[in-house]
Amino acid sequence: MMSSCLSRIPAALCVTAVLALLCGETSLAQANCGSTPLCRPYEKIGPACLRNRRMNLRFILDTAKENNFTVGSTLHNVATYGFCPVVDQLSSFTLTGAPFLASSYITKDEASGSVTRHLSLGMKPRYLSVYGFGTSNSTAYPEKGFSRGTVLVAVNGSHFTGVSNSVGIVTILSLEIGLHSGLFNYIGATEASETTVSNPNFDPRLCNSTISSSGVTYCDMEITVPVAATVVQPAKVGFTPTCDAHDTCTMADPHVYQCIGDIPGQKNCGVYKSDPNNIEGLQLTVWVSYYGTDSRRKVLTSGGKNPLNFVSFARTNALRAIGDKISNLFHGNISVLL
């Protein structure tokens, strides 16, 4: 499956045309990222992000074990999706084939040429991560189960459906990108260091008469001790739930979409499927919005257009209407206006 996907996509990226929904208009994103260097807010040296300029945004998807492949001696067990969004434009990105790659695989009968789709055997949790969105001590690759830069997108669904061969597939995600002067802000982060403190074992009487076998010194009034690093998440950066605190989908019709995740109140909209033929047509859509300030300290405003922000003040029926229209967009009706 992976080899066929890579053969169809330039630059070995399984990506699709980007749909951007902004101010009630739907448009296709430019395929060309331009000649200007893409900003990298997760790098200390940048380049820092500037409003209306493009950013290097890469999603890393855990694939089903049957979709893994080896090049030389290196095992590849992820699929990478690359985009170059315009900073401070509310956008939605479609990760083509992600639900299928994470949960299913294809076999082909060489004699007849027939293709059969299967669910991954022994389905394990699969995650989607954003490169560079990790914690202050490990920015490149977010830590699963801890960092907001990674999120569960596929899981064994038997506990929910009662069907042994079923999977839960997340299809709607929301990603926040918070910037401080165009870069991620790791508030309160410190690196590992050393400090000098009073020696609790200092004793002049034992200084020259006793030899410690445990490394304890009696002669020095002060000793140097290690200070652990303070590890923090980048401020206002990472995935935010598309389901509410009561595990109800707020980004689409809650009668159609369930909430999938491993933490109550922090789940995401998705569906449960038992037929891999029905999974192949699913898409994973990620909404991206921006907060904070760019490298010239201009305030970023796209976060105010994020559909999730309607949760705090919209009436239930109004919010559901917005969710229904977003669902229409996901199903290919790009004429919908909010």
Q: What is the DSSP string of 30-43?
A: PS---SSPPB-TTS
Q: What is the residue extent of each domain of the chain?
A: 2-186+234-330, 193-227
Tell me if 246 sits within 8 A of 55, measured CB to CB: no
Average pLDDT over residues 312-325: 50
Query: Distances in Å between the alpha carbon of 232 and those of 58, 64, 170, 265, 294?
Result: 21, 31, 27, 22, 21
154-196 pLDDT, tens digit per residue, is 999 988 877 788 999 999 999 999 999 999 999 998 888 888 8
Q: In what order do the strands lie in the sheet with 167-170?
A: 78-83, 57-62, 126-130, 150-156, 167-170, 268-273, 258-260
Q: Give which of 21, 106, 99 is closest to 337, Cα–Cα.
A: 21
Q: Which residue has the higher pLDDT, 221 or 91?
A: 91
Average pLDDT over residues 266-285: 94
The whole model's pTM is what? 0.77
User: pLDDT category, 306, cuts 50, 70, 90?
Assistant: confident
Average pLDDT over residues 67-79: 87
Q: Which residue has the higher pLDDT, 1 or 131?
A: 131
Q: Which residue has the higher pLDDT, 26 or 113?
A: 113
> Phi and psi dihedrals of 329, rounded to 5?
-65, -45
| pLDDT score of 126 | 96
297-303 own/partner pairs: CB under 8 Å, 24+ apart: 297/181, 298/51, 300/51, 300/87, 300/88, 300/179, 301/88, 302/22, 302/88, 302/89, 302/90, 303/176
Predicted confidence (pLDDT) at residue 321 exceeds the cutoff of 80: no
Q: Which residue has the higher pLDDT, 315 or 214?
A: 214
Q: Which residue has the higher pLDDT, 240 or 313?
A: 240
111-131 pLDDT, tens digit per residue, is 888 999 999 998 899 999 999
Other beta carbons within 10 Å of 29: 18
Which pairing describes strands 115-119 and 25-28: parallel, antiparallel, or unpaired? unpaired
> Phi and psi dihedrals of 61, rounded to 5?
-110, 130
| pLDDT score of 72 | 85
DSSP letter, residue 53: S
| pLDDT score of 325 | 53
d(CA 248, CA 256): 11
d(CA 338, CA 318): 11
Q: Which residue has the higher pLDDT, 85 or 328?
A: 85
| pLDDT score of 193 | 84
